[in-house]
Structure 1
Amino acid sequence: MTASLLWKRIWRHKLFYLFMLPGIIWFFLFSYVPLYGVQVAFRDFRFSGGFSGSPWAGLKYFHQFFDYYQSSKLIRNTILISLLKLVIGFAMPIVLAILLNEVKNVRFKKTVQTLSYLPYFVSWVVVVTLMQRLLSQYGGPVNNLLVSTDLVKDPVQFLNNTSWFYQVILGSDVWKNIGWNSIIYIAAIAGIDQQLYEAAKMDGAGRFRQIWHITMPGIRNIAVILFILATGSLMSAGYEQLLLLNGPATAAIGSVLDVHVINAGINEGRLSYAAAVGLFQSVIALVLILTVNRVARKVSDVSLF
């Protein structure tokens, strides 16, 4: 396509591009302009010198991170927690969307949708405070229920316990995000031609066969795209949640890169070191997205580009 033909097409659909303009401006200001500050990772940053006046340090801070005795543990914990969230947290919104699609009672369906969306808008500080009250070993309603029904003899220490750490992290993450993440799947299911379901019924297909042969293929492309995007967060396990739920007792399995970066940059004032670790995370995320996108394009003919 020649440049003149491209501009003619853009001008013909100028109203659509006008609607895109706010998003483009947002990405430019908050995603591309800040890239100028990436050079902090390669400088001995000084506030007096600024970006351009601080001396170059090369790969000094990258070497510092990989020489840090806990770097391998931080990377391992981050990948493990993110992978668990990706595998479980990615599938649950699909399940919820399919279940809601099968509900025929409109009032019940809307009530469940609203209740599942609400936790997404609640701060992690509030969520963790609520969890501390509910899961408290002393007087918490969950433990009271377990003990009163003789499911356990003694109250269970759910928080600050390595045996329950991953369950608490995954459970709270799914509860908080499942409703919001299911919205796009619900929209995709709503766009499936209803005549396909009618034809399947006439052929004698039950609800499970309709889900397997119509609903699942109908949302496959959307699921692949979202999975590709989700792989970019494999090096980011979630700052607020891990900062609030991790403690000295679970530090061996709960210390992640996100919290390490914030502590190094803000609490310790090591801005160049924190920028180097953050850049390392971003580069790995980019490589993962490009790799998964390439694999998806070959396997399913669906990709971001």
Structure 2
Amino acid sequence: MGASLLWRRLWRHKLLYLFMLPGIVWFFLFSYVPLYGIQVAFRDFTFSGGFTGSPWAGLKYFRQFFDYYQSEALIRNTILISALKLVIGFAMPILLAILLNEVRHVKFKKTVQTLSYLPYFVSWVVVVTLMQRLLTPYGGPVNDLLVSIGLVKDPIRFLNNTSWFYQIIVGSDIWKNIGWNSIIYMAAMAGIDQQLYEAAKIDGAGRFRQIWHVTLPGIRNIAVILFILATGSLMSAGYEQLLLLNGPATAAIGSVLDVHVIGAGISQGRLSYAAAVGLFQSIIALVLILTVNRIARKVSDVSLF
């Protein structure tokens, strides 16, 4: 009886499930089928032996990573940079979406939206090159401006400088992603019943009180779900950005797991070791998502499952 009811529901909403099919196929092919390769982390992988012919190594490569003298620093740097991006960067798209939602001039609103989305489609190579041109102490416009107005006496080395490293990393990440990440919040705000705003006006609420009592509660569920998903990235600080912006001068605070994994796997050919470290990252990310999801369900009754 239960199976029959399920099939009837599936058939009734067949068009909706048909729209979902490409996404399901994509996730199956690129997220679930590759799970077969997890076994590389537990084998002495060779190209001649392949996945099934390479000898088992057990936890050998996990022990190698934790015995590595920089493993603690890599984990610490990754968590710190990711946490800064999460804590600071998570609120910025919400703020931008609220500000744009309050704009009544349609042309200005669309212009700001377009300008804020564009950086998302620019590669990190271009972004870092632009930053190098702007922030260089040798004739860069930022340093020239600071010196000309008397804020600094000598040009500042913003890049490859431990004093400015976190500000540069977090600031560039927010600038690049804020517009794109704000789209989903703007969509959520568009779905808020306008009668709630009218009722708030009748009660004497100004714009700030309307935002606090109507807009923010209206997007709360979406924000909680996105925050749960974002916690899974705490073990992934961003490969391209850190690879391009980190240098010898900032290696002590800028070396992260993502760059280490790619370097070990591709540059050094240590595929089993890289797979083991990558699997460690994934396990921690899964634990974080499950933990935060459980906390969110108890605190706010909102969760992924």
Name the TM-score class by shorter chain: over 0.9
C-alpha separation in 1, matches of 2:11 and 2:208: 47
Scaled by the length of structure 2, the TM-score of the pair is: 0.99
Residues 2-151 of structure 1 correspond to what in structure 2 (within 5 A)? 2-151=2-151
Residues 245-284 of structure 1 correspond to what in structure 2 (within 5 A)? 245-284=245-284
C-alpha separation in 1, matches of 2:42 and 2:159: 39
Number of residue pairs matched by the alignment: 305
Partner-residue secondary structure (3-state), 2:234: coil
Amino acid paired to 1:146 = L
Name 1:201's counterpart in structure 2: 201
- Counterpart check, 1:155 vs 2:158: no
C-alpha separation in 1, matches of 2:271 and 2:136: 37
- Which ranges of structure 2 fall in alignment gaps of 5 or more residues? none
Name 1:183's counterpart in structure 2: 183
My pick for the range that moved more, 10-19 or 219-228, is 10-19
C-alpha separation in 2, matches of 1:23 and 1:183: 20
C-alpha separation in 2, matches of 1:263 and 1:222: 36
Name 1:290's counterpart in structure 2: 290
C-alpha separation in 2, matches of 1:42 and 1:2: 42
Q: 1:182-236 deviations in whole A, cap 9, x for unaligned?
A: 0000111111111111111111111110000000000000000000000010000
Name 2:172's counterpart in structure 1: 172
C-alpha separation in 1, matches of 2:38 and 2:196: 51
Structure 1 residue ranges (4+ consecutive) displaced by more than 4 angstroms after TM superposition: none
Amino acid paired to 1:174 = I
State the identity %. 88
My pick for the range that moved more, 12-21 or 127-136, is 12-21
- Which ranges of structure 1 fall in alignment gaps of 5 or more residues? none
Give the Å deviation of 1:105: 1.0
Give the Å deviation of 1:39: 0.3
- RMSD between superposed Cα atoms in Å: 0.7
C-alpha separation in 2, matches of 1:297 and 1:224: 10
C-alpha separation in 2, matches of 1:42 and 1:242: 28
Partner-residue secondary structure (3-state), 1:234: helix
Partner-residue secondary structure (3-state), 2:233: coil
- Counterpart check, 1:192 vs 2:178: no
Give the Å deviation of 1:12: 1.5
Amino acid paired to 1:280 = F
Amino acid paired to 1:132 = Q
Give the Å deviation of 1:261: 0.1
Amino acid paired to 2:10 = I
Name 2:223's counterpart in structure 1: 223
Name 2:213's counterpart in structure 1: 213
Q: 1:83-113 deviations in whole A, cap 9, x for unaligned?
A: 0000011000000000111111111111000
Q: 1:264-289 deviations in whole A, cap 9, x for unaligned?
A: 00000000000000000000000000
Give the Å deviation of 1:68: 0.3
Give the Å deviation of 1:45: 0.1
